[in-house]
Amino acid sequence: MVDSKLLEGLKIIFKHGPRDKEIKGIAYDSRLVKKDFLFVAVRGFAVNGHDYIKDAVNRGATVVVAEHPVKKTDLRQFGIEEEPTFVCVPDSREALALISAAFYGHPSDSLSLIGITGTNGKTTTSFITKSIIDSGGENAGLLGTICYMTGDRTTNAFNTTPESLDLQRYLSEMTDNKLEYAVMEVSSHALALKRVQGCSFKVAAFTNFTQDHLDFHGTMDEYFKAKSRLFNYLDADGTAVLNRDDKRVRTMARKLNCNVITFGIEEGAMIRAENIRESGARGKGQGAREGAFGMSFDVKTPEGGFEINSSFIGRFNVFNILTSIGIANALGFNEDIIRQGIKDAKPVDGRFENIDEGQNFLCIVDYAHTEDALTKLIEEARAITGKRIITVFGCGGDRDRSKRPIMGAVATELSDMVVITSDNPRTEDPDEIIRDIVKGVKKNNYTVQPGREDAIKEAIAMAREGDTVLIAGKGHENYQEIKGVRHHFSDKEILKKEIKKRLAVSG
């Protein structure tokens, strides 16, 4: 591979040094540079890659892409004898994405790439969509909040959407493993930071839009603009799948110059759910519905209609299933494959996950960390619970502060009892975060327990037969980030331990 090929399509402001060089790899972290690598200096939130150009060159980078020129006088300062090629671009993040796609041979062109964006529901929708594709006898890779699945291996996810270089490598692994489909969660951060530049999507879906990430985007309008950028990467014959029941999302149907499929529960959606029937609790809890978790409903489509049976529960999951049906419809999967794929799909780790150790009350772990998601979580718990709702939640540090009092209001208004605690405080003071939450409380039905393990312990201690305990915010995560350091912590592990302790005492 020569750099002239990799640089095609870039907006180059300034360039000097030898034009054609064999490039053996790409890095945006100077510590990962090896001989004959191309290094892209990216301005991060904590670290500026331009400060590490010297380190990258000393480690063997023969091409450097940066947002400001590096001249021969700088080379002497670096103590470098062999002249590397320096390329100056206006946006090194965009350059990294385009160079990475070229280096790996534009793998998205060989895949039916499916992008799913939205404030909530991306993860569950991606797993349901993969299950439908698998039921059709095809193999699909998956990239999202929980894990990255490339056909030959599964790794834990670091970001919902990987950095562009890593993303292209994962897509390349999928093509190497003869996968035909790739399902990808696409976050607003990834879209704003151009991580999916160079990707070509067959289908792009928008699940819903509510408040989140205003610490990064600033306003709801900017947040929506970021989400909407996904549809700029659709193939010429690609399809947009949109939630018609969401007022903001449905406005896009008139603006997009592509195939559009809408879904929802309200009249007017092309794919619509009717006659929703749920069962949601164990028989042990008095006052709760009997039977296993699950639901069924009828789906109306332009071609007719069919019945869906699923082990998922909750109105929010009706929308996740409808999104997946819209995606499958766009990809040409038939009714039988869609029905089987949804039936086979299992509840996702940390998404309305029932923790059952034999106790006589329900315990649910969920990733809900926005006002909308927390509202839907508590409302669904109310629908399947005959007695009290006890909610444990906190808010993450170094993130949107404006949603903290709103979540405090939702939790105390909709729950019978609330234990306010820490989530991932990161570099913030946990007590300060809790004070922000308490500013919004609506009732005096809460306690404060900064230690998350102590908060879970308190909730289990106060639970009575037939109650439901909700542990919200972290879901599948197995760490707690405090003062910038990640420590092992799993809501599920703590919950199971505390339930077993209680059962042992009660005999």
Q: CA of 435: how far to CAs of 404, 411, 450, 472, 486, in Å?
A: 9, 15, 11, 18, 23
Could you tell me the two tokens for 14?
């300034």
Distance CA 231, CA 235 (A): 9
DSSP string for residues in 172-190: HHHHHTT--EEEEE--HHH
**353-506 adopts what CATH topology?**
Protein-Tyrosine Phosphatase; Chain A (3.90.190)
pLDDT at 282: 42
Q: 203: closest CA among 271, 113, 323, 119? A: 113
Main-chain phi, psi angles of 149, to 5 degrees: -120, 115
Q: CA of 188: how far to CAs of 52, 116, 122, 406, 439, in Å?
A: 28, 11, 12, 21, 28
Decide if 105-344 and 353-506 have a common fold: no
**3-102 adopts what CATH topology?**
3.40.1390
Sketch the domain layout of the chain as residue ranges: 3-102, 105-344, 353-506
Q: Which residues does 251 contact at the CB level (< 8 Å), separation at least 6?
A: none
H or E stretch at 460 = helix 452-462
Residue with tokens 């090629």: 85
pLDDT at 82: 66
Q: 298: closest CA among 247, 256, 335? A: 335
Interior CA angle at 192 toward 28 and 131, to 5°?
90
pLDDT tens per residue, the chain (507 residues)? Answer: 446 778 888 888 878 777 778 899 999 999 999 999 999 999 988 889 999 999 999 999 999 999 987 765 565 565 555 678 899 999 999 999 999 999 999 999 999 999 999 999 999 999 999 999 999 999 999 999 999 999 989 999 888 899 999 999 999 999 999 999 999 999 999 999 999 999 999 999 999 998 777 777 789 899 989 999 999 999 999 999 999 999 999 999 989 999 999 999 999 999 999 999 987 554 344 334 445 678 999 999 988 899 999 999 888 999 999 999 999 999 999 999 999 999 999 989 999 999 999 999 999 999 999 998 999 999 989 988 889 999 999 999 998 899 999 999 999 999 999 999 999 999 999 999 999 999 999 999 999 999 999 999 999 999 999 999 999 999 999 999 998 899 999 999 999 999 999 999 876
How distant is the alpha carbon of residue 451 from its chain centre?
26
**105-344 adopts what CATH topology?**
UDP-N-acetylmuramoyl-L-alanine:D-glutamate ligase (3.40.1190)
